[in-house]
Structure 1
Amino acid sequence: MKKNIVSILLLGGIWIHSQSVSDLKSSFINNIKSPQVSDFIRYGNIPVKKYVGELDLNIPLLSIPTQNNTNIDIALSYNASGFIPSKKSGIVGFNWNLLGGGIISREVRGEADDQMGSPGTLNGINGHFEHGFLVGIRQFGSNISELPTENDVINYNDNKIRANIDTSESLYEIRYRGFPNDNSTPFETTPDIFNFNFNGISGKFFMSANGSIDVISNDSHKLIVDLTDMSSQPYTAVCTPKYTSEIKIIDENGYKYYFGGESKNLEYSNFLGTNANGEGNAKTPVINSWYLTKIEFPNGETLKYNYLNDNISIANSGINFCVFESSFWHGSTYAETRKFIEFNEHVNSYAKLTNSDVQYAGYGQSHLIASYSSGYDNTFSLIKKAYLSNIEYKDTKIEFNYSDQENIYKNTQIISSSQYDSR
């Protein structure tokens, strides 16, 4: 396990590229997730530090027996990692996490893997220039032998690698040449890292440079990750993803796990820039989490996870809840959808060193002057969250009921769960 992790970090070092200040801001915002997602993924991928006395607290609630004497357990866990400033409460309380169902969450590195860019333009459209990693790999289709290799990167093979200048920040960024090799196909060199936690299985995966999926999991599970239905998202400026997005994982026992799909099963973020009321035109949303929707067992039985309706139809381009003109924050036009939205503010501090070459008239001499400035600004984002409504298996149904948390910023919490047996 340790060797695999080290190799990933080294590979990331080979593919590193410069990022502008604006890129860094949007990258940070795209990786902000709801408390429920953050704690759920943390539980599966960060071990408890018992040698420092960290509490490992789990409270079992319900258990659903399935085939082969396997149970689907629902429990509460407590994150005892300590105080984190400005951390918000999740659906079962501060630092508490509901263990039930499953989530795939990703760390966006550079451009989102499923994001279509606009490489043929000068500065990109809606903040997107190069294609995401997955979009770029898909261009090659069956022409796998044409994909860039590690040697192409190390030796800077101009037939496979190109350096583009970001005119807004005067920085060069390294990109792969796509297929076919023209101005419309360049894509990023850094794949996203996907973390997962479901049914006692946790780990991470990413797409390698040859188009295969590399998986690291606990207890050496043999997992197959299928991204066929993870749609490439265009750069159209709307508040919701343009297409549905689903990820499928198959384990060594033949169990099939389906994540995401329509809007209510997804968590995604909208970058508002420096205006808390939005900028008139929304940035392209970035999906950061896919929720488990069903488990298909080898005998044909299905266990379903159903989520509350967020009243957003991706097929109809959703609704503009993240645009100021909709009066989302000041009216009740989208009152039902508003329950699913979380508002975030981030303070960015910066320091800038500028060199100027000053020519002295009449003397034929120049002098290099360096100036330093620093400051801060605020950036804002919205997160569209997902809430588990019920779990169905054969004659059993478990329902979850929610209410508003009485905080300065409205949030949602579970107030009860009920189990029904229709037999």
Structure 2
Amino acid sequence: MNRKLILYMFLSVITDAFAQVGPVNNIQTPEIANLGMFGTIPVSHYTGIPDISVPLYDIKVGDYVLPVSANYHLASVKPEGQSGILGMGWNLMAGGYITRTVNCVYDELCGDDGIPHGFFSHSSKMKGITNESFAQMTKDRLRGNDFFEVVPDEFSFSFCGYSGNFYYNENGGWTVISDHDIKVEFNPADGDGFINRSRLKTRFKTTGWDVQSDNNRFFNKFTLVTPDGCRYEFGGLDATEFSIPYYARKNSPLVPTTWRLRKITTADKRVIEFKYDTSAVMCDIRYVPQYRMQYGTVQEQTNPEQNGWRGFTGFLLFPACLTSIETPNETIDFTYFKERNYGDRFYRNSKALYWQATGTLRWPTYSSNMEDPALQFFVFMDTRQYESENATRKAIADNLTHNVLHRIAITNKFSGNGRSFYFEYIENSSERIKLLSILTRTGVPALIKGQWGYELPEETSGDDMPAYHFTYDISQTMPYRYSMANTDSWGYYNGGEVRISAIPSYTTVHPSLPATRAETLSEIIYPTGGRTAFTYSLHEYSKIVSADHSAVMKTYGCAGGLRVSEINNYDEGNSLISTKKYYYSETKNGESSGISKPLPVHSVSYTAGSATLVLKSTGGFQTPVTNQNTPDVGYSCVIEETLDAGGNSLGYKKYRYSNYDMDIFGISHNDEKYSYSTASGGEAIAPYTSHSQERGKLLSEEFYDSNGVLKRKKAIRYGRTPHAAMKTAYQQEVIINYYPYDFMTCSVGWLANTLTFSYFPASVRDTVYTESGAYSSSTTYSYNYDRLLSAETMLTSNGTTRSVRYKYPSDYAGYDWMRQLHIISPVIEKRTEENGAATVETFDYQATDSQIPYISRKTTSWGGTKTMKTDFKVNAVNAYGKPTEVETDGCLNVYYWGFHGQKLFYEIKNASLAEAEACLGKEAVVSENDMRYGLDYGGIDERYTMKSSIFHIYMYDMDMRLYAEVFPDGSAIQYKYDMLERLREKYIVNPYTDRKQVLNQYDYHYK
């Protein structure tokens, strides 16, 4: 690897969203960045972010359920942030991803010479590392042809209800931080574990990529295994997203940034596959002026400002867009249109896509290489230079595309029936693209013109369902994207636009409520005609964390972003039904309970000998910290009051949360300083040990009536699981002198801890207050190393105690086969003790030939092993691990399953499987070929042939919905559904008169 590349690896690209003291080597595509908001700023009272979601569909495969929904996140509405596939603020929840933040250089970095430089090949150097050895390592080995780093990248995952982070560790494995025991599988010896550049070239045009010989190894596929044994595969060249600095493509690495979910294999070996389109090319260009001034060096700059064209920074992005989900039961297709004039808006609103003019060279903040953006514009782009700057800029703009979701089409494989969800948008010259409505329709697919004239699938016949509609606050609107809107120091709109010729101010810009509310969601109108309206306010705080993260100080102020302050619900006649008000304080009129993390830092300095380097950025500098999922402001106490239509209080709830400071149990959750640093000073931007997983935990709920009288209180205390901290390094190189070929280098490094424990409830105390006194019950909890509940002890209000202990496969040597499959969550033994008596329930597991686990027997014993009963014993299972013959109380029962073992057809009591198969046929044949779509009330011959057996029959339509039940006495109940597959009626039909007798009717309304 040549010296020039090594130094360029430390290029700093500072933006408002990704600012940090070290270099920003990659960013996520807008869709993944917006989804990441749900992890960084969770939806809860603690953050003030309301839970706004539209459930679309549940993908059901056997016992596995994968929800698909559209979710809105208030903190995603920023002028410099691009919209995802559902428009500004909205996100599609369908599958999942692994994404990473590159620290120093990407972990797997290795060139054609076979010399690895990234952490993946040098992680063992962190074993037993001392302050002295780390200092020497940072000084000597951060530069040169054989340099290496000891800084791990951070991988974050979110899929199907699981989330967390993982890191490559010093033992050559993966350390996972999550509330679930997730196993990471990556096989470097597998041909698909890594990919090389030759395979990369099948997707990318690499002409002009000067450093490609230095980049010949890339993470390609990961598999995450959840505690139930489900396997989730991510990545592959057609399901991986990449990024590269926009103005430095010739000499920068192309980084795999995100691995999308491509396959789910459930514990019973059912497969769900995800497919993606990788043809789109996006860019994220931002105007972030910087200042770099050196003193006491060979040559000091005369113009330290980097504004105008030199103030632009950004990335070229290569997304993977979900096109289909294939299950054993259905096909789900996603159809998009190209955002109208996406590239053209770059072209018209900013000349930053391309320029020829000289004089725009700039100094990367940390690198010694002068950067000439004019030489970079055609690398990884399918275009060329034209006669004029304008024509070239237009050609580049025409290559940029952004997909916007138009339709989700669901086709059942058994029936061929279809259902679709349509998404319509607001897009005009004065507003950002925003989701306007979601419509459900059933029918047969065809082709019609889409929203902007594209040929798109549509149903030729069928029924429309009333739609969800959404309105937005347009009392102010943002300048259109890429026109450089003014933002506050947190990245939210602050009114007006930036002039690139102006000298920037490197100070804190405080938020404006009217501007921050611009184009945020203000109202949802439901299919029933009712609606919900939202009112927001700015985040306020009364405390702030010190710059060095050592203390919490008393300070008042407002931070960027919004919190919900009021929610009003109206009926279809526009009459107010109820109101919820939110007070972020201990009392309704008290001071804010909010605590702000340190304010953005806009200026830093480095000193080496007599030389000083001063750096400034309008985007600010933030610290590179692992496992840092912390909102800008978190609230220790929130009051939620409910009012009726007349404005009368119906009572309120008070929620208390763990925060930076001392909580209600006297425990602090503040962060810790680094353990060692080779640098002096710079505390405001130094890495530290984050305790973010302890914050935002619900500590208590208090219920008050309309007179303010406490009626009930639930207090929750937490504890750490026994997982040791991981020592983590951070390194960077700072160039003090910029005189070409004569520069002064300052290599700096820090050591801190990454905390790996989970913070789970240790006890819950529930107290009810009455006129005669207070009555309390409590429960304590403990957990094993697999993060599973191992024991709970309940103390009732009358003084009795009940304890329950659980054992899992990890507690038994005989279940090593389950541990090998990472099936660690099934309970093997449950022991309950109460009043001196013990009851033990034991679940025995076996596996099919294809390693599908199933319960083979359940026994219950009392008084030790003196009295034991076999509750049931499974004598036979089918290919899917479903029981087909079960012995209970000496009686044999037979089960026939259909739709590939997903739905129960027959439950036959007092019969063996051999007897049933002699009459009905083989279970496997019936299950696959006889779907029992038709009804036969009491007239099936099998019931009379097997006279000593009792039949309970379940019948389904071809969409797998339960259509009817035939009971042992021959009576039957039928079921009717609406177009959203919700149960509408249960009724009996007289088989002789066809007369219908309704048993139950169900109506659905939206609150």
Q: Distance in 1 between matches of 2:113 and 2:302?
A: 33
User: Residue in 2 aligned with 1:422?
Assistant: 413
Structure 2 residue 355 is the aligned partner of structure 1 residue 379: no
Q: Per the alignment, do residues 48 and 253 of structure 1 end up closer, same or farther by CA in structure 2, a change over 3 Å counting?
A: same
TM-score, scaled relative to structure 1: 0.68
TM-score, scaled relative to structure 2: 0.30
CA contact (8 A) 1:114 1:135 kept: yes
User: Residue in 2 aligned with 1:161?
Assistant: 137
CA contact (8 A) 1:41 1:103 kept: no
Q: Per the alignment, do residues 241 and 391 of structure 1 end up closer, same or farther by CA in structure 2, a change over 3 Å counting?
A: farther
User: Residue in 1 aligned with 2:276?
Assistant: 307
User: Residue in 2 aligned with 1:412?
Assistant: 403
User: Residue in 1 aligned with 2:151?
Assistant: 190
Considering fraction of residues, name the structure with more helix: 1
Query: Structure 2 unaligned runs (5+)?
Result: 1-6, 15-21, 198-209, 347-400, 415-1007
Q: Distance in 2 between matches of 1:130 and 1:349?
A: 33
User: Residue in 1 aligned with 2:182?
Assistant: 223
Q: Which of the two has higher C-alpha Rg?
A: 2
Structure 2 residue 12 is the aligned partner of structure 1 residue 24: yes
Considering fraction of residues, name the structure with more strand: 2
Give the residue type in structure 2 aligned to 1:296: T
Secondary structure of the equivalent of 1:148?
A: helix
1:56 to 48, 51, 54: 51
Q: Distance in 1 between matches of 2:217 and 2:126?
A: 32
Q: Per the alignment, do residues 102 and 371 of structure 1 end up closer, same or farther by CA in structure 2, a change over 3 Å counting?
A: closer
CA apart distance, 1:415: 0.4
Secondary structure of the equivalent of 1:210?
A: coil
Structure 2 residue 57 is the aligned partner of structure 1 residue 33: no
Structure 2 residue 60 is the aligned partner of structure 1 residue 65: yes
Q: Per the alignment, do residues 243 and 355 of structure 1 end up closer, same or farther by CA in structure 2, a change over 3 Å counting?
A: closer
User: Residue in 2 aligned with 1:256?
Assistant: 231
Q: Distance in 2 between matches of 1:45 and 1:79?
A: 11
Secondary structure of the equivalent of 1:25?
A: coil
User: Residue in 1 aligned with 2:374?
Assistant: none
Q: Distance in 1 between matches of 2:315 and 2:145?
A: 30
Structure 2 residue 41 is the aligned partner of structure 1 residue 46: yes
Q: Per the alignment, do residues 285 and 82 of structure 1 end up closer, same or farther by CA in structure 2, a change over 3 Å counting?
A: closer
CA contact (8 A) 2:180 2:227 kept: yes
Q: Distance in 2 between matches of 1:349 and 1:420?
A: 53
User: Residue in 2 aligned with 1:270?
Assistant: 244
CA contact (8 A) 1:259 1:294 kept: yes
Any residues of structure 2 matched to 1:10-409 within 5 Å, and which? Answer: 22-25=10-13, 30-51=25-46, 53-67=48-62, 69-81=63-75, 83-116=77-110, 131-137=117-123, 147-149=124-126, 151-156=128-133, 161=137, 163-164=139-140, 174=142, 186-217=147-178, 220-228=179-187, 229-231=192-194, 237=212, 245-262=220-237, 264-273=238-247, 281=250, 283-308=252-277, 310=278, 337=279, 340-346=280-286, 347-356=288-297, 373-376=303-306, 377=310, 378-406=312-340, 407=342, 408-409=345-346
Q: Distance in 1 between matches of 2:292 and 2:111?
A: 29
CA contact (8 A) 2:211 2:251 kept: no
Query: Structure 1 unaligned runs (5+)?
Result: 1-18, 121-128, 138-146, 165-172, 176-182, 311-336, 358-368
Q: Distance in 2 between matches of 1:236 and 1:373?
A: 30
Deviations 1:300-354 (A, max 9, x none): 221101112x3xxxxxxxxxxxxxxxxxxxxxxxxxx3xx101222435122223
Q: Distance in 1 between matches of 2:9 and 2:126?
A: 29
CA apart distance, 1:267: 0.6
CA contact (8 A) 1:268 1:288 kept: yes
Give the residue type in structure 2 aligned to 1:382: L
Q: Distance in 2 between matches of 1:29 and 1:299?
A: 42
Give the residue type in structure 2 aligned to 1:255: C
CA contact (8 A) 2:23 2:104 kept: no
Q: Distance in 1 between matches of 2:156 and 2:33?
A: 10
User: Residue in 1 aligned with 2:634?
Assistant: none
Q: Distance in 2 between matches of 1:414 and 1:241?
A: 34
Give the residue type in structure 1 aligned to 2:182: L
Deviations 1:247-271 (A, max 9, x none): 1111111111100012x20110122
Q: Distance in 2 between matches of 1:186 and 1:22?
A: 13
CA apart distance, 1:22: 5.0
Alpha-carbon RMSD: 3.3
Q: Distance in 2 between matches of 1:199 and 1:52?
A: 22
Query: How many residues matched?
Result: 323
